[in-house]
Structure 1
Amino acid sequence: MFSCFRRVVAAGLVASTTLAVAPAYAQKSKKKAVLPRKTIEQRVDSVLALMTLDEKVGQLNQYTGDAATGPAFNDPNKVEQLRTGRIGSMLNVKGAQRTRELQAEALKSRLKIPLLFGLDVVHGYQTTFPIPLGEAASWDLEAMRQSAHVAATEAAAAGQHWTFAPMVDIARDPRWGRVMEGAGEDPYLGSEIAKARVLGFQGEKLGATDAVMACAKHFAAYGAAQAGRDYNTVDISRRALWETYLPPFKAALDAGAATFMNSFNELDGIPATGNAYLQRDILKGRWNFPGIVVSDWGSIGEMVAHGYAKDGADAALKAITAGSDIDMESRAYSSHLDQLVQSGQVKQTLVDDAVRRVLRKKFELGLFDNPYKFSDVKREKAALNNPQHRQIARDVARKSIVLLKNEGNVLPLAKSAKNIALIGPLGKSKLDMAGFWSVNYDSTTYVSVYEGLQNKLGKQATIRYAKGCGIKGESQAGFAEAVQAAKAADVVVMAVGEAYNMSGEAKSRADINLPGQQEELMEAVLATGKPVVVLMMAGRPLTFAYTAEHAPAILYTWWLGTEAGNAIADVLVGDYNPAGKLPMTFPRSVGQVPLYYAAKSTGRPSQNDKDTNYRSAYIDQVNSPQYAFGHGLSYTQFEYSNLKLSKNEVGDGETFTASFTLTNKGKVAGEEVAQLYLHDLFASATRPVKELKGFQKVMLKPGESRTITFTIDKDKLSFYNNDLQWITEPGEFNLMIGSASDAIRLEQKFTLVK
């Protein structure tokens, strides 16, 4: 109890009055004094009152530790700065032993305030899960919560207090490499996934040793970068900001996200790091966010390059004024903030508010009571070697696979298959299964597709492997070997796609075609006439027009992590029936980008792909995507029927239901993701032609039927008017239920009345 004050007293500083008089009271009463435990806010106030300005600035200073995820400063004096209280948090320090060592240095400081350790634990720590966009394709919120929980368990055991995840940016341009880190194009799906991931990382309460602080990033609209080029300018309307890009952040906040990270981009002419509208007015004002706002790597200093700040001092002034609490790796606060306060340019209250937010989280995590509680070598060893974590990773990986096409029921493969040709540059790859933003890049821990098939089929099958070509490059030297392997096989499995480092931060691509000679290899193998199953591995939607048209079966497998090969083999032979659905629209060509399902109608809408005369259409390509948002097939077939609305006329504020019958018409059990879309037909501001407003993932046995019910409340019928007020308007709506945004099976109109 009062451990922070014990350290203060031990250091020879001022003791509190309560602690000073307690012994006298105990002697007079001859009983041990029982002091009421102070609240966290009281303890924060007590520590803050003892701090010098330099020590306060130190709490807002974050340095990288042993590795860099950006252009790091070369600073040989980090340990000395730890000992003098000039660093409040560090990132990229891994391992229970190493974090313990650095924490010990921080505790040599005058006030012995413990450090926070943060890391980009994006899709796993030791156990790597599918990339977040791949997980989003599962549309399985519990699976994503569990994935984040396993990641948090391992990271916390290895000394981490904080992950810089989840990324909740809505992204509608697959040229942007960081689409792999998010949940796709839709604000409703993105919001549900944001909640699941925050709850998975943080658990029931901060401070548990199987949980870490989550960080909703990047605030805000980072995913709307012009031309899909990372770090680029964002120029969107306030309506688009509120309707499309902010909802997942609000969902993360409502789920209890402890921290937010601001973004590299500018918005409305002001860099997000110095944007008071985003950080003061919305986040800390309207939403009353009590947690920490951390800058992205160096983004405070980068306001100079934006042309918004004159120099480092001006950048620090604008960032702290706008509400950015922690400076990650720009050194603007450590170099200038004390002088800005002393000169009166920055109010002391702004610094105190930021420091309070940092101290509050350190208390909530329990670090003042036990600075080493997350640095337990024994617990780290147990957590990182828990075999159950790999089982969970395998299950999540299977759920993330999307069956795009299955003509002639090529899939599932017969378990009795004797001769299989595995062709393509990713067939034996292990490292690429990790995907970008992985913590664990030890390739020996990953299962390749080749190994997964061997594990599944054993000695009963012959698996001939031919690389065929590289992921990049122009060489076709391996084509002949690949064609021979295909001719000798009963069925061909083609493993193609991107390398792990072709999608991710700073990995924007102007050409999102299947890279290198892989589609030419596809053409050569398909010419053999053998049945071909394509495994498309990537961190983003790719364009692959020839393959999409000619290959009979296509599985989109993203980068699936540690258990990739085993999960893929489960799906290939039908031990798992794929149920994934696309969280992003797949264009036919890059010229269609940006392309997303929730588009506006325009005054001259094209009614079909042949309607191009003076319509909003291309003259050289159809408007429709290669694969629509929500698309995903199964080894069984589902029938939608018997739609019933509880009300056809709904009063403002009333709730009603839409029910229908879902039937598995096939011969195997399977899951279907039934999707609810709404369209407000006439409004004071034009509305998208479809908006996802609900989904349910349902398992059905062969021949089984079930009544599925969606509840529609006022919130699902509301939108932002021209004054950015969240309102409903009377009028007619179209309710649509289907298996994808372009596969509506049932629809009915209803009317909202005032």
Structure 2
Amino acid sequence: MKIRESIIRNCFMLGIAVLGGVAPAIGQTQKAVALYKNPAATVDNRVKDLLKRMTLEEKVGQLCTLLGWDMYEKNGDSVGVSAAFKDVIAKRHIGSFWATLRADPWTKKTLETGLSPKLSAMATNALQKYMIEHTRLGIPLFLAEECPHGHMAIGTTVFSTSIGQASTWDPALIKEMAGAISQEARVQGAHIGYGPVLDLVREPRWSRLEETYGEDPYLIGQMGIAMVKGFQGNNINSGVNVISTLKHFTAYGSPEGGHNGGIANTGSRELNTSYLPPFKNAIQAGALSIMASYNSIDGVPCSSNSFLLKDVLRKQWGFKGFSVSDLGGIPGLKSNHHVAADMEEAATLSMNAGLDADLGGEAYGDALIKAVNDKKVTMATIDTAVSHVLRLKFEMGLFDKPYVDVATAERTVGTAAHKQLAEKVAAESIVLLKNENGTLPLKKAVKNLAVIGPNADNMYNQLGDYTAPQPEEKIVTVLKGIQAKISSDTKLKYVKGCSIRDTSRAGMDAAVAAAKDADAVILVLGGSSARDFATSYQSTGAAVVKSAENAVSDMESGEGFDRVSLDLMGLQNELMQRIVATGKPVILVLIEGRPLNINWAAQHVPAIVNAWYPGQEGGTAVADVLFGDYNPAGRLPVSIPKSVGQLPVYYNYKSASRHDYVEMDARPLYSFGHGLSYSTFDYKQLGIDVQEKATLKVTVKLQVKNTSAVAGDEVVQLYLRDDASSVVTAVKQLKKFQRIHLQAGEQKEVTFELLPEDLMLLNIQNKWVVEPGSFTAMVGASSEDIRLKETFQVNKAVEISK
């Protein structure tokens, strides 16, 4: 028996077909198995073999990612491939689809017309089966899905949006969350997860701030590393991991005027020191895909920027994965940037710049084929791009195991464990901005409680953009969370009061009356990124904004909803002022996607809680904080300005004249890193040790003690300033942080280690160096709340190879 198995194995290794488990007889002719189909061959050899067999049209098809939600047909409890799918495969040999399982108003897929996890697995299997059995080469598909705060498909777990994730200051938790998201996507047949978004944001009027990790490159980088490692794991062929696509490369989050996709005004040094490092961190963590952004930098669109896509990404950082455009990004070279006269020229510019794949597929089709035939693009350039895509298909094992198990998808997606994880992420993300005179936590036995506001019981307003339709029973709103928390003797009155944008006063008086009858008021205001079927959308998925006067939708944030001010919209400020005028204790809870103007609230409301968009379990997390079952420790990843006239107002501005205005001071209302707790903490015994023998290493130690009677988390933040440098550097820059848990009265030693990369700057010769001289270390609870400070000296210059 062992001899027979050895013969079969050797025949397979040699590419000889084995039928029915029996080796062919001597002299019997069998068609040899193609090398690219042999799992024992190396990935490089399989890629080379497949490339040699492909036509130009088939190669270009591998570089196109089309919109996927029309590629299946659902009939009751069965699902199969659509006529549209068969047509594009036959005509264009497409290799990838995006958002096949997506459901939302743009795709017009609802809970009824979209796919459950079971049907999703069946649909992706049907697509792959068709590719294997009905195409010449049997190349499996790549299926990419949106995964920023959960896989954007029906039945999956909805986590806090990215700005909330960043507010946890807990990379280990975010890595765990990303692992759950990747598992839910992969078992349904997805292979690529779009995320994380690594845009550094300095423009809160921009509509997509909720998708980012804030204003600081180090914090963004740590969150990005966590997401990439959670998505990809240690092996993308694991069956539970997906390829991470980094977004948006680069300088997309600080557009001129806050216009989504607008130009980025940044110099080369700032690009290298602030915008690129998070992407480099994620690439070094192993990220295998990256998306070019819509914007231009210094007159060059990112979709055709060879410096970014070749020099930085490939040569400097050693990136081995594949790059992809944003949806319609390559046609945008013609329609938006006007650097291409026609689609052929647009395709030529992007392909020659090193952009591998076209999301949307409008440019990398006939136009790219024509560019090759017209000798504007070489076949070698095409082969390089195609090899980047095929290599990952082989490494993920798709040629050998293209299908997923339907039963596994049905039992793995939206589990109780993932629900608990969503609640934990939401709780850690909540930022207590203000708590005057111990207003919080509330007592559960409060006799009369009023819950008021447009975001108190609106589940979609709580979930943020890039969220699929949800069954009502799945989402715990703030109202539901409070109802589950309070004593049975408490009388609770809920009144909506007003909408986010609508100016109807129908509920205003009832809200005020409820407040007057209450012993305490929980007022839930903010914004919304909730899409609805009445909203129109561009071909890219961004919303077409209607004026506030004509709008019915609450949506004032989310892709395409850029703002001219940051004021609370509609009648929210009026509602708040009338509620506060009743004289009752008011707790303001903010559900929002961007920092909004809360100047009046900061002066007149005793307690303010910022929950961002906290996801499906957000109501439970908010209620736990309000009633003291969870001690908040979230910290702001972005500064909250007092006025749009201050913008930009980020904390780590360059050393220069920044002074007060005629109307107000220049400081933000709440600074980066700010967040309160029900505990109090003492910082002491700062010590710094500098070692310069073998390699530069600076060790920073301090003691942190919980001086309260309440156990809690503290986020210890280390900032650094280069006291005198050859180029202008930041007044302070976050370098390290730790979120630690301390019991009442407990004290811990916190240690930070700084290496040359933490002290370096880009000098006048554009070299990364650590310059000898004085540095100031600042340790505290926020960028403004610095508790300890000490200067140390570096005596030797260090040049760093980048």
TM over 0.5: yes
Q: Which residue of 2 aligns with 1:99?
A: 124
Alignment of 1:33-44 (within 5 A): 37-44=40-47
Cα pair distance change 1:96/1:22, threshold 3 Å: closer
Instruction: Find out whether 1:150 has 2:146 as its counterpart.
Output: no
Q: 1:646 aligns with which of 689, 706, 709?
A: 689
Shift of residue 659, structure 1, vs aligned partner: 1.1
TM alignment of 1:351-362, pairs within 5 A: 351-362=382-393
Paired with 1:676 and 1:440, the residues of 2 have a C-alpha distance of 41
Separation in structure 2 between the aligned mates of residue 404 and residue 185 of structure 1, nearest angstrom: 18
Aligned residue for 1:222, secondary structure, equals coil
Length-normalised TM-score, structure 1: 0.92
The CA distance in 2 between the partners of 1:433 and 1:635, in whole Å, is 25
Q: Partners of 2:469 and 2:779 in 1: how far apart?
A: 41
Matches within 5 A, 1:385-464: 385-457=414-486, 459-464=488-493
Structure 2 counterpart of 1:79, from 72, 79, 86 = 86
Opposite residue 374 of structure 2, the aligned amino acid is S
Runs of 4+ with deviation above 3 angstroms: 15-18, 20-30, 33-36, 75-78, 439-444, 649-653
Deviation per CA, 1:484-531: give whole Å up to 9, x if none: 111211111001010233222112111111111111111111111111
Residue 299 (1) aligns with residue 329 (2):
yes
Shift in alpha-carbon separation, 1:36–1:572, aligned structure 2, 3 A: closer
Which of residues 59, 62, 65 in structure 2 aligns to 1:59?
62
- Is 1:744 matched with 2:775? no
Does the CA contact (< 8 Å) of 1:652 and 1:728 recur in 2?
no
SS at match of 1:533: strand
2:448 and 2:520 in contact (8 A); partners too: yes
Letter in 2 for 1:333: Y
1:168-222 Cα shifts (integer Å, max 9, x gaps)? 1111111111111110000011110000001111112102221111101111111
Q: Does 1:655 align with 2:697?
A: yes
Identity of aligned residues (%): 39
2:211 to 170, 181, 184: 181
Q: CA deviation at 1:330?
A: 4.3
Q: Which residue of 1 aligns with 2:234?
A: 204
In the aligned structure 1, how far is the partner of 2:372 from the partner of 2:558? 39
- Which residue identity lines up with residue 279 of structure 1 in the other structure? L
Which residue in 2 is equivalent to 1:119? 145
Alpha carbons of 1:734 and 1:67: their partners in 2 closer, same or farther (altered >3 Å)?
A: farther
Partner Cα distance (1:483, 1:323) in 2: 60
Is 1:666 equivalent to 2:711 in the alignment?
Answer: no
Q: Residue 340 of structure 1 contacts residue 346 of structure 1 at CA under 8 Å; is this kept in 2? A: yes
Task: Give the superposition deviation at 1:285.
Answer: 1.6
Equivalent of residue 715 in structure 1, options 743, 754, 757: 757
5 Å-filtered alignment, 1:495-644, equals: 495-501=524-530, 502-602=556-656, 604-605=657-658, 616-644=659-687
For 1:572, the aligned partner's letter is L
Q: Which residue identity lines up with residue 525 of structure 1 in the other structure?
A: I
Give the deviation of 1:162 after TM superposition: 0.7
What secondary structure sits across from 1:87 in the alignment? coil
Mark the CA change 1:19 to 1:141 in structure 2 (over 3 Å): closer, same or farther. Answer: same
What corresponds to 1:215 in structure 2? 245
How far does residue 418 in structure 1 lie from its aligned partner after superposition? 2.4
Q: Name the SS for the 1:685 alignment partner.
A: coil
Q: CA deviation at 1:636?
A: 0.9
> Does the CA-based 8 Å contact 1:128-1:440 persist in structure 2?
no
Amino acid at match of 2:566: I
Aligned-partner Cα distance in 1 for 2:15–2:424: 54
Q: Which amino acid letter does the alignment assign opposite residue 98 of structure 2?
A: L
- Which residue of the other structure, out of 89, 101, 109, is the alignment partner of 2:96? 89
**Alpha-carbon contact 1:421-1:464 (below 8 Å) kept:** yes
**TM-score (normalizing by structure 2):** 0.86
**1: CA distance between counterparts of 2:433 and 2:761?**
33
Aligned to 1:19: 15
Q: 1:694 aligns with which of 736, 742, 758?
A: 736
How much does 1:460 deviate? Answer: 3.0
Aligned residues: CA RMSD: 2.3
Q: CA deviation at 1:27?
A: 6.2
Amino acid at match of 2:634: G
1:489 aligns with 2:518: yes
Task: Supply the AA of the counterpart residue of 1:212.
Answer: V
Q: CA 1:448 to 1:67, structure 2 compared with 1: closer, same or farther past 3 Å?
A: farther
Counterpart CA distance in 1 for 2:692 and 2:595 is 39
Cross-structure match for 1:10: none
Q: How does 1:265-304 map to 2 (within 5 A)?
A: 265-304=295-334
Tell me if the contact between 2:157 and 2:422 (Cα under 8 Å) persists in the aligned partners.
Answer: yes
When structure 1 is superposed on structure 2, of 490-499 and 426-435 the one drifting more is 426-435
Which amino acid is the alignment partner of residue 165 of structure 2?
E
Q: Deviations over 1:609-665 (max 9, x none)?
A: xxxxxxx33111111110000000000111111111124x86794212111110111
Separation (CA, whole Å) in 2 of partners of 1:439 and 1:53: 37
In structure 2, give the amino acid aligned to 1:82.
I
2:92 and 2:365 in contact (8 A); partners too: no
- Unaligned segments of structure 2, at least 5 residues: 1-10, 72-81, 102-119, 531-555, 797-802
> Aligned equivalents of 2:766 and 2:25: distance in 1?
64
**Deviation of the 1:67 alpha carbon:** 6.4
SS in structure 1 at match of 2:382: helix
Q: Deviations over 1:13-40 (max 9, x none)?
A: xx9994369999986799xx99992111
Question: How far does the alpha carbon of each residue in 1:78-136 deviate from its partner, in whole angstroms, 9 at most, with x for none?
Answer: 42222466201001211112222222232211001011111111101311000000110
- The answer on 1:192 being equivalent to 2:222 is yes
Go from structure 1 to structure 2 and tell me whether the alpha carbon gap of 1:508 and 1:441 turns closer, same or farther (over 3 Å shift): farther
| 1:694-727 Cα deviation digits (max 9, x unpaired) | 0011100111111111112211110111232111
For the 8 Å contact 1:645–1:659, the answer to whether it is kept is yes
Deviation at 1:76, TM superposition (A): 7.2
Contact (CA 8 Å) 1:121, 1:438: kept in 2 or not? no
C-alpha distance in structure 1 between counterparts of 2:500 and 2:61, whole Å: 46
Q: Is the 8 A contact 1:422 1:464 kept in 2?
A: yes
* Matching residue's letter, 1:705: Q
Question: Is the CA contact 1:401–1:556 (under 8 Å) kept in the aligned structure 2?
Answer: yes
Measure how far apart 1:322 and its partner are.
Answer: 0.4
> For the Cα contact (< 8 Å) 2:445–2:487, is it kept in 1?
no
> Residue 665 and residue 51 in structure 1: after superposition, are their counterparts in 2 closer, same or farther (change >3 A)?
same
Could you tell me which runs of 5 or more consecutive residues in structure 1 were left unpaired when the two chains were aligned: 1-14, 69-74, 606-615
- Shift of residue 339 of structure 1? 2.0
1:371–1:83 CA distance, 2 compared to 1 (3 A): farther
Between stretches 650-659 and 337-346, larger displacement belongs to 650-659
- Name the residue aligned to 2:272: 242
